[in-house]
């Protein structure tokens, strides 16, 4: 039996009293909604199986408005992988049950669309299901967006799995919140990670520096990047590079922190933590870190202010201050120290590391 369109749209012959907003009939509003291309409506006589559909539903299903649309055809269009679960929709309506489902359909041109289907049942005089009515939304765009988000999430998980020893998140105040991988790495319990107690797993010699670096990052909502030794669950201290970044709200406040711990093979990159020089006749000192005394002496020798040296090396002034303070608990990264060293060498000094003597500096 051919279907009957519900979309005979026409304006009322004259605007009724009560304002211009009542000039349009419900069919006019229905057409405006359907012209979005994302919604269609149907009604059905559940006793004889006849179905009336609006042009919007034909458009969603990729069918010609003149085509017949029996209930069975709509069920047949459900994607084969979804049909076993969602092929009972009209059977549910005929049993008097409302439906709310999401599933895929395959259109005649072999394209696939995600649909959300909501249906209601009206009972007849005999209290049996008599009529059904429903609305179908094309939600393909939403599913595509969700798929893209899940794909990015899966890629990130894969990257973290192969590169990081632990992934963790903290509150805006810097206290661990999601830390199951940290607990697996260190053997600490959840209670032992509360507040700043997680620092108990950090080597005592690295603890003050680590806490100071983390506190500074949290206070300034700046990126965190430092290295320290962790007492792992097997009882062995190992070096890790710990990095974190703040996740910001729209108003610029910190919503949370996300961080990872990366394995550092062999010695730490912190030259201040026991870097050894190969025992050769002429040791390579090009990668040796500088002592606080060397930085102060070199800067004074070439007459540079802290601001000028920081600008030449591309580092912050606070980095220069920490480098010149032998008692500073926060030691800059090795590549930062090397940037300062290169700047001073370009300014005309040579750093000396003679065997049996204190590290020094002389004019080039």
Q: Note the pLDDT tens digit of each residue in 47-103.
A: 887 788 888 999 999 998 888 888 888 889 999 999 989 989 988 988 899 999 999
What is the distance between the alpha carbons of residues 60 and 133, in angstroms, rounded to a whole number?
Answer: 17
The reported pLDDT for the residue numbered 162 is 59
Alpha-carbon distances of 207 from 21, 147, 169, 289, rounded to whole Å:
70, 42, 20, 21
Per-residue pLDDT, 7 = 37
pLDDT beyond 80 at 117: yes
pLDDT confidence of residue 290: 82
Q: What is the pLDDT of residues 328-364, one digit of tens each?
A: 777 777 778 888 888 888 888 888 877 667 787 787 6
- The C-alpha atoms of residue 322 and residue 29 are separated, in whole angstroms, by 69
Query: Is residue 73 a contact partner of residue 63, using CB atoms and an 8 Å limit?
Result: no
pLDDT at res. 138: 92
Decide if pLDDT at 266 tops 80: no
Band (37; pLDDT cuts 50, 70, 90): low
Separation CA 326–CA 329 (nearest Å)? 9
Helix (H) / strand (E) containing 350: strand 349-352
Give 270's pLDDT tier (boundaries 50, 70, 90): very low
pLDDT for res 171: 92
């Amino acid at each position: 039996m051919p279907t009957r369109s519900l979309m005979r749209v026409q304006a009322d012959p004259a605007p009724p009293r009560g304002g211009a907003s009542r000039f349009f009939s419900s069919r006019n509003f229905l057409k405006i909604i359907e012209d979005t291309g994302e919604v269609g409506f149907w009604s059905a006589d559940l006793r004889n199986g006849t179905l009336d559909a609006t042009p919007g539903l034909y458009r969603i299903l990729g069918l010609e408005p003149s085509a017949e649309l029996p209930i069975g055809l709509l069920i047949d269009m459900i994607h084969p992988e979804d049909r076993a679960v969602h092929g009972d929709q009209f059977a549910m309506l005929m049993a008097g049950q409302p439906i709310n489902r999401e599933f895929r359909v395959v259109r005649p041109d072999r394209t696939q669309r995600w649909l959300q289907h909501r249906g209601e049942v009206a009972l007849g005089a005999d209290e049996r299901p008599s009529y059904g009515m429903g609305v179908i939304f094309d939600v393909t765009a939403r599913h595509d967006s969700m798929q893209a988000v899940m794909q990015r999430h899966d890629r990130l998980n894969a990257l973290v799995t192969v590169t990081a020893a632990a992934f963790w998140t903290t509150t805006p105040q810097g206290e661990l919140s999601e830390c199951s991988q940290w607990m697996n790495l260190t053997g600490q319990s959840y209670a032992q990670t509360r507040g700043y107690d997680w620092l108990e797993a950090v080597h005592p010699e690295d603890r003050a520096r680590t806490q100071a670096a983390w506190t500074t990052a949290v206070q300034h909502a700046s990126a965190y990047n430092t290295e320290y030794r962790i007492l792992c669950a097997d009882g062995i201290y190992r070096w890790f590079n710990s990095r974190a970044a703040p996740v910001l709200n729209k108003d610029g406040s910190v919503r949370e922190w996300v961080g990872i711990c990366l394995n550092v093979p062999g010695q730490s990159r912190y030259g201040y933590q026991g870097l050894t020089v190969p025992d050769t006749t002429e040791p390579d000192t090009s990668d040796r870190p500088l002592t606080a005394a060397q930085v102060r002496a070199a800067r004074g020798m070439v007459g540079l202010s802290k601001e000028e040296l920081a600008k030449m090396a591309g580092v912050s002034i606070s980095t220069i201050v920490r480098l010149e303070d032998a008692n500073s608990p926060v030691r800059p990264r090795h590549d930062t120290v090397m940037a300062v060293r290169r700047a001073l060498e370009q300014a005309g000094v040579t750093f000396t590391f003679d065997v049996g003597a204190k590290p020094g500096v002389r004019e080039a």
